[in-house]
Amino acid sequence: MIGTGVLVRLALRRDRLLLPVWILVIVAIPVAIASAIAELYPDVGQRLALGATMMANPALQALTGPIFDPASVGGLTAWRATTFAAVLAGLMSIMLVTRHTRAEEESGRAELIGAAPVGRYALPAAAVIVTGLANLLAALLLVAGLAGQGLPLAGSIAFAGAVAGMGLVFTGIAAVTAQLTANARTANALAVAVLGLFFLLRSAGDASGAEAVSWLSPLGWAQRIRAFADERWWLLAVFAAVAVLLVAGADLLARRRDIGAGLLAARRGPAAASASLRSPLALAWRLQRGMLFGWAAGFAVVGGVFGALAASVGDIVGDIPQIADMLARIGGAGVLVDTFFATQLGLFALVASGYAVQAASRPRAEETIGRAEPVLAASVPRWRWLAGHVACALAGSALILLIAGLAAGLAHGLRIGEPATQATRIAGAALAQVPAVWVLAGITVLLFGLLPRMTAVAWAFLVAFFLLGQLGELLQIDETIRRFSPFAHVPALPGGTATATPFVWLCLTTGVLIAAGVAGFGHRDLKSD
């Protein structure tokens, strides 16, 4: 395709700062985990004891998957890092493909490029090539990094192949979703929703012991390559075949639409706005409601599935005599169920923070594509326009956590005969996570108001908070540093004790961040592409 090489170089130049950060994070975390495990558990006996303890915890299996070789450093590294690195590779691929395909069409740049002597499909081809090269480079660096830690070369290659394979599959998925909708945000949301569904399938399958369910997810394939155990090399071919089929499917879909359009045509709106739409808050709600409905549906499904699993957690580990004795001493299987819910709600909160960042970033998208300027040129104060989007981010993140808590509590309650009690209890525990999520929304608003071109850095804060919370102890990060994460100040509910102090401080922090962002936005120029 004419011009593909030039567009590849252009994409690499545009992403010369963003792409190395993605690759560095994908590579550095597994290597750091391998180093930490080797240092903390130098003896085989220690590693076997750790593996037995972890495999007795269904909540951890839901989060990280099974351990195939607890005796080796490589086996424990694969258990702890595969899902995390594979999810990051999937997210990187989604963002890159959408950024260089659908976002280019939405902004009008694709049409300008198409006016030059460039093949019609050179732009998506360049996006797929760049994303594929990024995944390949990450895989090569992973092999070098893990082998440099003294891990077996074969296992290092299998681990890197699993991560890169996940990235390639989502390169294809993002290429498909970019054909379905005319909006880059919606294309990203669809692809991320697919990633979330695959994570749910893998988690549910591993936590419940339903192996067939885990095999429905590429994340399950990544785990079952069994890096550093008895590697299943044929799964790498499965990843490659699925990726090729998805990219080919995206190409066929692209031939059935016009540039700038999506296969899922947007509904035509009325010629005049209704009375209910004539306010900044109503406009923000209209722009954001589709995304909120999608997130809410996803959280309801995920919450219901994990709630249904919770009742069986005690039964699963109760078959192990040592664990059964321990549970009897500390208060029975109900303690373990509460721990399971506390772990999952903490994970839900981190994912809900993604919604908060996405919703709070919407003003930047409106400003960039030029829709904010005509609204603000009328008699609409800047603070009111921005406040509408902030309200959607805050209320929406609270709503989806409430829905997840209600769904989980109701599903659990129906199994044990206490639907109302458990729904109320788990929903309350879910709402306890909301102030920490709001801090991420506040950071996003602050960046938008003061440094609009850096708004996307809010995602880096989310990744950092995830690392501090989920991997901080394993990576031996100092407790003082780990407490920079707002999630470190949220009590482990249900089952723990809560005081008002951390919630007040988190809400005050959010208020200060939002106020500073609103003030900054009121004193700067609008910036559009």
**Are both 420 and 475 inside the same structural domain?**
yes
> 424 pLDDT band (50/70/90 cuts)?
very high
**331-353 average pLDDT score:** 78
Which letter does DSSP use for residue 116 in this model?
S
Mean pLDDT computed over every residue of the chain: 85
274 assigned to some structural domain? no
**What's the pTM value of the predicted model, to 2 decimals?**
0.76
257, 293: one domain: no
- Residue 271 domain flag: no
Q: Is residue 108 part of a domain?
A: yes
Domain count, the chain: 2
pLDDT the model gives residue 315: 56
Lowest mean pLDDT among 19-28, 260-269, 435-444: 260-269
Same domain assignment for residues 320 and 468: yes
**Domain-embedded: residue 273:** no
Which residues, 6+ apart, have CB-to-CB distance to 195 below 8 Å? 87, 90, 91, 94, 170, 173
Q: In this structure, are 192 and 299 located in the same domain?
A: no
Could you give the CA distance from residue 487 to residue 477 in angstroms, rounded to a whole number?
A: 15
Note the pLDDT of residue 84. Answer: 87
Q: Answer whether residue 338 is part of any domain.
A: yes
The pLDDT, as a whole number, for residue 332 is 46
Which of 71-85, 194-208, 483-497, 505-519 has the highest average model confidence (pLDDT)? 505-519
- Would you state the torsion angle of the CA atoms of residues 201, 206, 211, 213, taken in this order, to the nearest 10 degrees? -10
What is the mean predicted confidence (pLDDT) over 362-385? 85
**Residues 352, 229 share a domain:** no
Shared domain for 306 and 442, answered yes or no, is yes
Nearest to residue 101, comparing CAs of 7, 23, 241? 7
* Predicted pLDDT of residue 43: 87
pLDDT at 191 over 70: yes
Where is pLDDT greater, at 407 or 58? Answer: 407
- Say whether both 377 and 515 belong to one domain: yes
Q: What whole-number distance in Å separates Cα of residue 245 and Cα of residue 231?
A: 24
Q: Which tokens in the block code for residue 385?
A: 């326009």
Domain termination residue (choose one: 218, 246, 262): 262
172/254 same-domain check: yes
Q: Which residue has the higher pLDDT, 347 or 387?
A: 387
Integer angstrom CA distances of residue 353 from 227, 360, 408, 462: 31, 10, 19, 7
* Whether residue 529 has pLDDT greater than 60: no
Whether residue 283 lies inside any domain: the answer is no
What is the per-residue pLDDT for 278?
Answer: 74
Burial class (CB in 10 A: 0-12, 13-18, 19+), 43: exposed
The pLDDT of residue 59: 64
Residue 72 lies in a domain: yes
Domain co-membership, 227 together with 104? yes
- Mean pLDDT for 91-103 is 91
Rounded-to-integer distance, Cα 430 and Cα 433, Å: 6
Residue at 302 is within a domain: yes
The yes-or-no verdict on residue 192 having pLDDT over 90 is no
Q: Is residue 239 domain-shared with residue 358, that is, in the same domain? A: no
Please say if the pLDDT value at position 447 is more than 60: yes
Q: What are phi and psi of 268, to 5 degrees?
A: -70, 135
Question: Which pLDDT value is given to residue 325?
Answer: 53
Distance CA 516, CA 463 (A): 23
Q: Which domain holds residue 16?
A: 1-262
With CA atoms as reference, report the closest residue to 189 among 174, 202, 171, 167. 174
Taking the C-alpha atoms of residue 165 and residue 517, their distance in angstroms, rounded to an integer, is 40
308 CB-near residues (< 8 Å, 6+ apart): 411, 412, 415
Q: Which of 481, 493, 401, 389 is nearest to 441 (CA)?
A: 389
| Helical segments of 319-332, H only | 321-330
* Residue 364: both structure tokens together: 């930047």
Provide mean pLDDT across the span 12-26. 87
Residues 118, 20, single domain; the answer is yes
Residue 327 has a pLDDT of 45
If asked whether residues 335 and 249 sit together in one domain, one would say: no
Residue where a domain terminates, one of 245, 262, 279:
262
3-class DSSP state of 424: helix
Length of the chain: 529
